[in-house]
Amino acid sequence: MQTDIQLPAGMTIPDLYSGISAAGTHPLRGELRQHEPMQRHVSWRAGGSVDYFYQPADLEDLAIFLRSWPEDKPVAMIGLGSNLLVRDGGLPGVIICLHAKLNDLVLVEQDEQGGLVYAGAGIPCAKLARFAASHHLAGAEFLAGIPGTVGGALAMNAGCYGSDTWSLVERVTTIDRRGMVCERQPEDYRIGYRHVALHETVVSGTPDIWFTGGWFRLLPGKAEASRQAVKALLTARIKTQPLGHPSAGSVFRNPPGDHAARLIEQCSLKGFRIGDAMVSTLHANFIINCGHATAAEIEAVIDTVRDTVHRKTGISLIPEVRIIGQRKGSAQ
C-alpha cells in the first residue's frame, strides 16, 4: 500500500483502509496507487494515467472498496488491458484491475455429459483453456489465443475461429457500484458479436455492474486432442498476427459477411503510419505500436482507417477496442 496519496476531498487513507464500509470493521487489503501510468496495464503500452488504481485482494475486499469509494467518483474495471486504450490526458476516478486477483478456478462437476468449470474474472483466458483441457473437457480451446482475462472475455464476448465466450456460459456472478454480489443468467443479457449488455442497464443507463466470475459448461473431450487444437490455433496466430509488437488485437469488428482486414487492405492502408502507430503489414486490422506511440497517434490511425474505408467502400467500420479518458490538454 502507498501512503503518500491525495484522496478525493473529504476522504483519508485511514477512512478508506479502515473502511467507511458498513460496519467499519473490514480494513481494505488490496493495493491502491495514485497517478498510475496505464501504459503499464494495457497491451498497446501507450496512453495516460489514472488518478487511482486499485488491485483488490479478493472479492470481499473488492466489495468493501466499492462501498467505500465516493459515489461521485468514476469507477472502471479492467482485466489485462488487451482491448483498451486510455487517452493521453488520462482519466479521473479509479481503475480497478482484477487480473490475477479474483482467481478461483474450480471443476464444479464432471460426468459423461461433460463438466462445469467456475473461473474468477481475473483468471487469464489461456489458463482456463489449459485447465479445461487437462480435465478432458472440450470447447474452451479457442480461449487459449485470447490474451485477456475471463472478466474481459465476458464483457467483450471474446471469440475466434467460430467460437465465442457466451456460448459456453451457464451463469455469471457480478458486483455493482455498492459492492452487491449477484448471480445472473445469460437471459439477463443482450449478447451479440463482441457485444454484451445487461437488459436492465440498457433501460436504466447505468453500466456500473461488473463480472466477478462465470460458470462454463464444457463437453467431454480428450486432453491430448485439446492440447493439439490449442497448439494448431497458436501456430496459426503466430503466422498471421504481428505478435512481436504491442497491439490490442483486431481494432474493428468484422462487418456482416465481410472482414475488416480485407477492407482495410483493399484501401491500401497496410503500413499507414502516424508517429509510432502503424497499420500492421501482416494483419491489416491490427494497429501496432512501433516504439513510443501515444494514444493520440493510435486514435488518429483508427480514425483515418475508419474514414478512408467509409469514403472508398461506403462501409462504416465499428471499433471493437474500448477507448476511455481525456485527450491531452482537454479540460478536466
Ligand X SMILES: Cc1cc2nc3c(=O)[nH]c(=O)nc-3n(C[C@H](O)[C@H](O)[C@H](O)COP(=O)(O)OP(=O)(O)OC[C@H]3O[C@@H](n4cnc5c(N)ncnc54)[C@H](O)[C@@H]3O)c2cc1C
Distance from C-alpha of 290 to C-alpha of 173, rounded to nearest angstrom: 38
| From 68, 173, 247, 254, residue interacting with ligand X (rule: CB under 6 A) | 247
Q: Please give the radius of gyration of the chain, using alpha carbons only, rounded to the nearest integer.
A: 21
Q: By CB under 6 A, tell whether 248 contacts ligand X.
A: yes
Q: Is residue 168 within 8 Å of residue 186, measured between CB atoms?
A: no
- Residues 75 and 208: beta-carbon distance below 8 Å: yes
CB of 169 to ligand X, least distance (A): 13
The one-letter code for the residue type at 85 is L
Angle at CA of residue 238, ends 97 and 126, nearest 5° = 35
Which of 47, 249, 319, 325 is the binder for ligand X (CB under 6 A)?
A: 249
Binding flag, residue 83, ligand X (CB under 6 A): yes
Cβ nearer to ligand X, comparing 17 with 280:
280
Q: Is 152 in the site for ligand X (CB under 6 A)?
A: yes
Residue ranges with strand state E in the chain: 31-37, 49-55, 75-78, 84-86, 91-97, 105-111, 114-120, 137-138, 159-160, 163-164, 169-176, 181-184, 189-192, 195-198, 209-220, 273-274, 277-279, 287-289, 322-324
Using the structure block, give the residue that is written with the C-alpha cell 467456475.
Answer: 118
How far apart are CB 78 and ligand X at their closest, in Å? 4
Cα-Cα-Cα-Cα dihedral sign, residues 70, 76, 77, 79? negative
194 is catalytic: yes
Alpha-carbon separation of residue 271 from 155, 265, 294, 315 (angstroms): 31, 10, 17, 21
Residues in region 30-59 near ligand X by CB under 6 A: 43
Q: Is 297 a catalytic residue?
A: no
CB of 158 to ligand X, least distance (A): 3
- Using CB under 6 A as the binding rule, whether residue 103 contacts ligand X is answered as no
Known active-site residue 167 = no
82 binding ligand X? (CB under 6 A): yes
Q: Does 80 bind ligand X (CB under 6 A)?
A: yes
Residue 128 in the binding site for ligand X (CB under 6 A): no
Question: Restricting to residues 200-219, which ones interact with ligand X according to CB under 6 A?
Answer: 210-211
Q: Does 159 bind ligand X (CB under 6 A)?
A: yes
Site residues, ligand X (CB under 6 A): 43, 76-84, 98, 121, 145-149, 151-153, 155-156, 158-160, 210-211, 241, 243, 247-249, 322
Active site residues: 194, 250, 320
